[in-house]
Chain A
Amino acid sequence: MIFNSPVFIVFLVSVFGLYWAPLTPDGKHRVPLLLLASYVFYGWWDVRFLALILFTSFFNYSIGHWIARAPEERTKDRLIVLCLVVNLGILFFFKYFNFFLDSLQFAFGLETIPWSLKVILPVGISFYTFQTLGYCLDIHSEDQVPTRNVPAFFTFVAYFPLLLAGPIERGNTLLPQLETPRVFRRAQVVEGLRLMLIGAFKKMVIADRFAPLSDTIFDYSGLFAGPFAIMGVIFFAVEIYADFSAYTDIARGASKLLGIDLSRNFDRPYFSLSLAEFWTRWHITLNTWFRDYVYMPISYTFRNRGLAGVIFAILVTFALSGLWHGARWTFVSWGLLLGIYMALELTFSKRLAKLPTVFRRALTLTMIFSSMILFKAKDLPAALHYAERIFTLGKDPAFLTKRLLSYTEQTPLALICTLLFGVSLFVLDGWTARPDFISNMEQRPILRYGGYAGLLLILLFFGVYVDQKAFIYFQF
């Protein structure tokens, strides 16, 4: 059940109706209903996943209380280590075990490894593992009081709008909303519907139209070179941003329909003036998580080593962030490359600050886009080959354009529309980020309804409904 499927619409409408229906006094049925709906949603993917999420919920609920109740710091420390071992152990087993074995096999030149496992990767495991870990770490650092509300906690872990690809919420932002009765607020529901409409537009009109372009250029990198190879990276950058921010918009919108606000995950990241700024505007909840639970403790530990300590903390954080994305060396290398870029930016920060804004923005985008080759490529040799193709003079641009149109089965006009939709992503970002956006919309009904109708018509005529790609971040 993916967000851009008819079955999800039926599911959400049913949940919405039952959720706000006056079935119980004070709406006491709402959290249990959300929990049930979340398990139906997750079980729809594979019913076996439910056992794991039930165990994770039960374990973290219990250990949260044990940590809070532990009389001594030492016991608290031991319990949080146990919590880390169990949660990361589960993640390692399902996501990284075979990657680890394959790497061992490659490193030692072994022909076969007899104990490789055939396990399916439960969707969303990286997201809910980090969410529950954050909850326990916050209890350990006394930033969070463990909840006694069992249904609320189990819903916190499995809440369907964020279960598959975040945002990774903190206990102290989501749990209070699950523990207190929700009140129907029209403005919140309208904003939710608006976010879902924008999310559908980003996914089905932008991401899914850019996906075949970037896929084709990467798949046929032997043919496409020079400016086309650069375009392939830019197309992927637009695709991944549209795709992931679409998911977040739909998740936040669906949640708002249920009276629950989720955190923002994106804030016009491609307008950043530096990499450091980019990471405060891209996948905000994950990067905040890594900042608070990985970077800060490491940099604190090495605080006496000056810049070297900070750079070490950056490199470790980014390498782990890369590994979090996927059990592949391309993701680790992607993280490390970004870490190196960050370290360089930090080292030369004073000089960089003196550069004109346009140049700083271009430099930031160059660093981000170049790292995306590693993110997109299927393995390291393919990434290196692609990078090499950027500096190769390609064939006749007219011929390559024809090939691109032919492989993606697009007409020239359709390609132009796709590119215009890509540009509109940033215009839309600019509008919706303005502080007066909502009040402006409220005051101008023609603009508001015209906008909704326009987006719906674009979805009708230009949305991708065949061979839809799953949201990219589902694989993580």
Chain B
Amino acid sequence: MFGFLLGLIVLVVLVVVYYANRIIVLGNRVDNAWSQIDVQLKKRVDLVPNLVETVKGYMKHEKDVISSVTRARERMLGAKTDEEKIKANNQIAGALKTIFALAENYPNLKANENFMMLQEELSGIENKIAYARQFYNDSILTYNNLVSTFPGVMFAGILGKQKKKHLEIEAAEREPVKVKF
């Protein structure tokens, strides 16, 4: 009888430890996935002044677009919450897309070595953001499934953990920008 009780207690402790750890590990994974996105977003922001400097001389008639990407960058740097940051970033992504689309009209710019390098770099970052976003969403899904289904939901309640919200980051197209005229 005593042995049985002891076994039961050990079993309960093991289950609790397992679920508590699982919730924490998966929660950390979500945070880590977000910081992966953050790293790539920062890299992109850092490249914006470079790009502006390069295209300025060529695209004399596209001042609006160029200043919109600069403004979006300033908003991103001044952002306080994750939501603001994401909003500013979606604006950067949109403005960059327009710049690269318009660049098609400027053969000299397209042939500029610096511009080509920046374009390659920025499209690489675009891909990485897309993949980081995908991993982030997967991690959130796994986490939310754990804390919202039985028996995880019990332990989540005890630990005070709740479902995490998906962040709406603009779905970056993983294909070259197509120009429509």
Q: Do A and B come from one complex?
A: no
Interface residues of B (CB under 8 A from A): none
Chain A residues near B (Cβ < 8 Å) = none
